[in-house]
Structure formats: C-alpha cells, structure tokens
C-alpha cells in the first residue's frame, strides 16, 4: 500500500491508518476535548506518567503581561529518571533502550538494555552525588553523542539536579558563558568528540573555558577516544574510573512537577543566548505524548531521531519522550555523509529502524548526492518519516517520500521550538493528510492564532497570513528564562500582549492547514540551527580590525539560510582575502563553527536612518540578490552607500 496522493494531498496507506493510535475522527474529537476543557483533558493525559504524589491542581497559567506565570500539575511530585528507566525494569528490563551507533561503522554498535541503563544512570548519579551535586544544582554537559550523555542527563534527573547541555560544536567562550550563566557546579566532558572521522578536542576546549569560570567548578571527564588530555589535579575527575567504583543503586529524588529539569541556551533576536527553562512534570507528559502520537510509536518499534542531544530535539525525541514510552531509541554519533552518503540508510537497514526523524538540511544534502546511495540499502523496516527544524521545501519532501519512504511512509513535518518542549503543529500520521511543505494542524491542546503583524488583530478567517502566536498554555511550554523572568516576558509576551509569540510568520490555507514561512525577527535558521544575527555581529565587532558589522540571512540551497555579514573595517585597515578568512576563523572561535559567516562583504558604509538605525530590510534584499525591489531608500542618511553595496554584493546566484 502506498501514500495516496491527490492534488498534492497525501493520505497514509490503509494498513498504516488501520494500526494507527489516532484516526481522523479520533483527532477531531480529542482536539476538541483538549481545547474545550484543558484541565480535564490534561489531568487524564498526565496519567501516562508515574507520580509519586498525585497532583490535585492541573493548570494555572497566565500570559498577562507583567504577570506571566505557567504552572502545570504543580502540587504533584515525581522523578523523571524513574519514569524513563526504573518503571520499565519489571516488564522490559532486557529490552534495548538505546542503540548506540558510533561515528565509524567499523566500531561495533552498543545495545543498552533498560537494566544496563538503570545501572549506569545510578552509577553516574552516585559519582555526581560524591561531588556534592544535589537537587537544584546545575550540571553542564559538553559531550559527544555517546551513551554517557544519556546517562548524565538521566543521572541529573535522578538527583533532581538541572542539566544544561552545550552542543559540542560550540567554542570555549560559548561554553564558559553558559557555565557561568547557569552557575554550574560540575561540567561533564570527554577527551574528544569524533564526528565524520574528525575529532574535536572537547577536554582542551573545556580547559580553556574553565579558565574563565569559578575555581570550584569540577570537571568530570569521559575517556572516549583515549586522546591525550592535560589534567588539573583536584579539579579533573576520571569519570570512567569513578563510575566503575560507584554503586549501582541510587535512590531517585522526589521533585515537584514545577522543579526545573533542564536549561537549554538558545539564540534570540537580541543579546546573548537565552537559558530556556523546562520543568519536570508537564515537559515529560508532553514529550512522551507527542513522541507516541506524532510518530505513531508502537511497542517494539525502533525509533531514530538523528539530532544531537545538544539541541532540544535530542532532549525530547532521543531521550525523554522515547524512554518515557519504553521505546528503543537510536543514538548516532556521526554525520549523514561519513564514511559515505549512504550512512543514514545503512544505519536504518542495520538496526531495522521503523521511524526516522531528521532535518530538511540533511535531506537536501543527501538529495544532492543522488538516489543511488539510498537504493543500495534495504529500507523495508521504515514505516514513518519525520522532518524538523525549518520549512521543508516540496522538492526535498518529494525526494524523501519517493526514495526513502518509497511512497508508503507518511511524512510528519513537525513545527516546534526549544521553547515549546515538543511538537506544536504536526500531522498525526493516521489522522491528518499531508501537504508537502505544511506542518498541517495543531497538536492536542495547542491553540495557534495568526495575528496581523502591524495591528496585532487576530485573523479569524480560515485563510489568513501573519505572525504565529499561541493563545493558551500547553504542558511542554518553557516556564521562564534562567534568572531573568523579565526578559522572558519581554521576548515572548510583549509584542502581542496576551499571546505567546513564536517569532515565526505563518499562513493558513482554506483547509485550515498551517504553513510556517520562517522567522520574522532577527533570528536566522542555518542548517536547522538557530542563530541570532546580533550574536554574530557582536563576535565580529570584537575583532580589533572591525568597526561595525551587520549580519543577515540569505537563501542557501543546502543550509536553508546562510550567514551574510556586512563588515566595515577600521579606517586604517585594508580589506584582503586573508582578513576575510581571519574573520571567519575569529567567529568560529568566538561562537563555534555553526556561526561561520558564509559570505563577508566589505561595506565602507551601512544604510542607516538619520537616527542611526541600520535598515536591515535593505541589507536582506541585497544579500538575497533581490536589489531591484529595495523600496524607499530616501529616509537614509546617505542613500549612496546602497549603490556601493549592490555593486559589490557577494551573492550573485
């Protein structure tokens, strides 16, 4: 049976629908119930989690400016790690919880059962405890995609400590900012992180970062590659040795539903990255539920989300959602193109993956290598495909559907954010027919509204376009920004009072389907990674030769968006190719490789209004190579700078 296509609407094959958790009628009635009486609905859904003390209050949420407060299940208590591990021991202790697939296909994969996971989580929790980590303490993880990353997350959860993962691609400076930002007591890292056959020296990066942190911060080190590291006595601790000596039992600490589970830093349109806080009860309910329904996960399935645990997708759909559901989850250390462009498909075949979840940027990159890399592998185990992180263009959707899904796997295009904890808008595969490029319909309990960007008026017609906001809280929603509730209100609730503002543009078609059109703020999406243009600008101006910088996104065939920087040099500095390379290197060292500018244009002047505000609209247009429609430039202090920028534009595609 194959997906049934009708004028670009794809319905899942009959046999898929017959087995699915939710069908069309089920979605309609459950969605209606979820928004008609959220408290009753979520009280029932929260039973999928084991509570130590049951909650009596379900929801207490206000989006009112000056008084934003979000609480779910607030008087209940639980332990997240016990929910993800211990409660499965009795019936599925010997089932594989995590399949670890290493960077090199020549290194054997590991199958970690729930029993072994329990043992290792307890060992690591005992090591953390011995370092004085207790409930509410912060622990930063800066790790490759290795089982120890999962053990460390769950060990923190077991103790009620709060983890904050820093993606291994971030620089020492970025790591130091995050360690200091959350006041971490401990950093967990490894000697090196292998990726695509290359190694990143994580321990040496951590050493550099710790030079800028409090002397009391301890460093637990996983020996992974065996690479050489320097050792600071009294600060550095050999985690493997400590774990080997630690006890295999560690009581799970009872925490309140609203106690923080993790902090995850993400880029915003202004200033430094923001420490998004997720709490324990609501987040877990939401991650588990979206994992089950969006991916139509059934007992015994093998689920693979290709993200890194350094991003929210890895938190919710490699670790917390799948493990709460007693799933088998694949954790992949490598990259899609190493050792060749068939790696994803080889791994799918090897581990008989049933649900496969990746980002459009990876699909586009692999599409460019040719379908022959897919055809080599037996993908008959696949039942469902997923996409996340950025809008998926119809060409990539069609390629994914035809070559990977062989026309028989529904594709779930899941729209969500670090802030939302789990999917907000997504097809439910047995219930909602898909249109390539549309995230389709809201998940249960999610109330999207489209507002006019200028008047903030709600667009009540079915067919509408504007900015995407959410009217009411859902359990997976972030609760605050670490240590800065004011900034939380300012960033998400000020522009459109009374609503949670996603920062995305959106249109709704005649069928009520949602189409995300991309960020409307100064955040760009590079290979599915969020980057604040302000962050890249402040990295650039920190260089001694740079006087001023303005950064915008531009369309990029593989990455979705590329980073385009306009740089004004100091008066005494001559532009050169060498300096261009140096600036790229500089940004990599200030933030990390993911922030590398793709194009740098020397700008003798930037287009500014008479009050000195940079007119980014003009810079975006030039970067997009769409300079014919620049609009009104008469309000510029010096309109002639625009001609120079157009003449020397870097993107002539």
Residues that bind ligand PRX (CB under 6 A): 266, 312-313, 388-391, 413-418, 439, 502-504, 516, 518-519, 525, 530
Nearer to ligand PRX, 342 or 532 (CB): 532
Closer CB to ligand PRX, residue 518 or residue 575?
Answer: 518
Whether residue 616 contacts residue 550, with contact meaning beta carbons closer than 8 Å, is answered with: yes
Was 479 annotated as part of a binding site?
no
In which region does residue 308 sit, left (phi positive, over 0), alpha (psi from -120 to 50) or beta (all else)? beta
313 annotated to bind ligand: yes
Residue 446 annotated as binding?
no
CB of 518 to ligand PRX, least distance (A): 6
CA angle 128, 131, 132 (to 5 degrees): 95
- Least Å from the CB of residue 453 to ligand PRX: 15
DSSP one-letter code for 319: I
Minimum CB distance to ligand PRX, residue 18 (Å)? 27
Alpha-carbon Rg for the chain, nearest whole angstrom, is 24
Nearer to ligand PRX, 243 or 288 (CB): 288
- Which tokens sit at 236? 């550095």
Give SS3 for 449: strand
Q: Which is nearer to ligand PRX, 516 or 623 (CB)?
A: 516
Taking the complex as a whole, the smallest distance from the CB of residue 393 to ligand PRX amounts, in Å, to 10
Least Å distance, CB 478 to ligand PRX, is 10
**Does 413 carry a binding-site annotation?**
yes
414 is in an annotated binding site: yes
**Contact of 598 with 589, CB cutoff 8 Å:** no
The reply to whether omega before 474 is within 30° of 0 (cis) is: no
Contact 325, 292 (CB under 8 A): yes
Locate the DSSP E strands across 419-545.
448-451, 464-470, 480-481, 500-508, 514-519, 523-526, 529-532
494 carries a ligand binding annotation: no
CB of 380 to ligand PRX, least distance (A): 27
120 or 525, CB closer to ligand PRX? 525
Q: Find how far residue 577's CA is from the centre of its chain.
A: 34
Is residue 343 annotated as involved in ligand binding? no
The nearer residue to ligand PRX, 102 or 553, going by C-beta atoms, is 553
H helix runs in 100-188, sequence order: 114-130, 147-159, 172-182
DSSP 167-214: -TTS-HHHHHHHHHHHT-SEEEEES-EEETTEEE-HHHHHHHHHTTS-
As measured in angstroms, the least distance from the Cβ of 360 to ligand PRX is: 8
Answer yes or no: is 222 a known binding residue. Answer: no
Phi and psi angles of residue 307, each rounded to the nearest 5 degrees, phi first: -65, 175
Output b/e per residue, 382-412; b: 16+ Cβ within 10 A: bbbbbbbbbbbbeebbbbbbebbbeebbbbb
Q: Is 190 annotated as a binding residue?
A: no
The residue among 10 and 566 lying less far from ligand PRX, judged by its C-beta, is 10
* CB 297 within 8 Å of CB 303: yes
CB of 298 to ligand PRX, least distance (A): 23
Give the number of other Cβ atoms within 10 Å of residue 125's Cβ.
Answer: 28
Q: Taking the complex as a whole, how short is the minimal distance between the CB of residue 195 and ligand PRX, in angstroms?
A: 19
Closer residue to ligand PRX, CB minimum distance, 158 or 530:
530
Ligand-binding site membership of 391 (annotated): yes
The response to whether 158 counts as a known ligand-binding position is no
- Closest to 426 in 3D by CA, of 295, 326, 249: 295
Q: Which is nearer to ligand PRX, 126 or 502 (CB)?
A: 502
Neighbour count for residue 21 (Cβ, 10 Å): 16
- Is residue 418 annotated as involved in ligand binding? yes
Residue nearest ligand PRX (C-beta atom): 418
Residues tagged in the binding site annotation for CoA: 195-198, 313, 527, 588
Residues tagged in the binding site annotation for Mg(2+): 541, 543, 546
Residues tagged in the binding site annotation: 195-198, 313, 389-391, 413-418, 504, 519, 527, 530, 541, 543, 546, 588
Residues tagged in the binding site annotation for ATP: 389-391, 413-418, 504, 519, 530
């Amino acid at each position: 049976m194959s997906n049934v296509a009708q004028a670009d609407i794809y319905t899942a094959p009959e046999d898929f629908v017959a087995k699915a958790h939710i069908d069309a009628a089920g979605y309609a009635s459950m969605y209606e119930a979820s928004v008609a009486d959220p408290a009753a609905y979520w009280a029932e859904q929260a039973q999928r989690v084991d509570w130590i003390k049951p909650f009596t209050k379900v929801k207490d949420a206000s989006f009112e400016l000056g008084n934003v407060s979000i609480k779910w299940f607030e008087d209940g208590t639980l332990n997240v790690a016990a929910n993800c591990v211990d409660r499965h021991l009795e019936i599925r202790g010997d089932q594989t919880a995590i399949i670890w697939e290493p960077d090199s296909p020549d290194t054997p994969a590991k199958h970690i059962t729930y029993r072994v996971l329990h043992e290792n989580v307890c060992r690591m929790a005992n090591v953390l405890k011995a370092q004085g980590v207790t409930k509410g303490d912060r622990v930063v993880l800066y790790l490759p995609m290795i089982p120890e990353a999962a053990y460390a997350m769950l060990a923190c959860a077991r103790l009620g400590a709060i983890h904050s993962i820093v993606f291994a691609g971030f620089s020492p400076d970025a790591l130091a900012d995050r360690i200091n930002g959350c006041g971490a007591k401990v950093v967990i890292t490894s000697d090196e992180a292998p990726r695509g056959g290359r190694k990143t020296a994580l321990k040496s990066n951590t050493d550099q970062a710790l030079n800028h942190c409090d002397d009391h911060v301890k460093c637990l080190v996983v020996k992974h590659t065996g690479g050489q590291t320097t050792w600071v006595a009294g600060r550095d601790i050999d985690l493997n040795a400590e774990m080997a000596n630690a006890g295999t039992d560690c009581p799970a600490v009872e925490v309140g539903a609203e106690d923080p589970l993790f902090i995850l830093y993400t880029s915003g349109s202004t200033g430094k990255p923001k420490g998004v806080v997720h709490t324990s009860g609501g987040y877990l309910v939401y991650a588990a539920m979206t994992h089950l329904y969006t991916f139509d996960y059934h007992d015994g399935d093998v689920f693979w989300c290709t993200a890194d645990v350094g991003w929210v997708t890895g938190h919710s759909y490699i670790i917390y959602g799948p493990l709460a559901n007693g799933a088998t989850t694949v954790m992949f250390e490598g990259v899609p193109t190493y050792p060749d462009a068939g790696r994803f498909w080889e791994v799918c075949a090897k581990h008989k993956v049933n649900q496969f979840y990746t980002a459009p940027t990876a699909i586009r990159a692999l599409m460019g290598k040719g379908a022959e890399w897919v055809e080599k592998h037996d993908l008959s185990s696949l039942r469902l495909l997923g996409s996340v992180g950025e809008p998926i263009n119809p060409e990539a959707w069609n390629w994914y559907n035809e070559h990977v899904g062989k026309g028989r796997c529904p594709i779930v295009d899941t729209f969500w954010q670090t802030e939302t904890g789990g999917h907000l808008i997504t097809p439910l595969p047995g219930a909602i027919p898909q249109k390539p490029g549309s995230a389709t319909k809201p998940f249960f309990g999610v109330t999207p509204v489209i507002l006019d960007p200028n008047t903030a008026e709600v667009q009540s017609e079915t067919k509408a376009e504007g900015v995407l906001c959410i009217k009411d809280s859902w359990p997976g929603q972030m609760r605050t920004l670490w240590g800065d509730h004011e900034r939380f209100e300012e960033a998400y609730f000020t522009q459109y009072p009374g609503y949670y503002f996603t920062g995305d543009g959106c249109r709704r078609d005649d069928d009520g389907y949602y189409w995300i059109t991309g960020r409307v703020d100064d955040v760009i999406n590079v290979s599915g990674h969020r980057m604040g243009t302000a962050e890249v600008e402040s990295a650039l101006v920190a260089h001694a030769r740079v006087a001023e910088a303005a950064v915008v996104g531009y369309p990029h065939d593989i990455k979705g968006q590329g980073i385009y920087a306009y740089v004004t040099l100091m008066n005494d500095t001559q532009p050169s190719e060498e300096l261009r390379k140096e600036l790229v290197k500089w940004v990599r060292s200030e933030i990390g490789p993911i922030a590398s500018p793709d194009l740098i244009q020397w700008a003798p002047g930037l287009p500014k209004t008479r009050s000195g505000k940079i007119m980014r609209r003009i810079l975006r247009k030039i970067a997009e190579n769409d300079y014919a429609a620049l609009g009104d430039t008469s309000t510029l202090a010096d309109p002639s700078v625009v001609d120079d920028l157009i003449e020397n534009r870097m993107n002539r595609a």
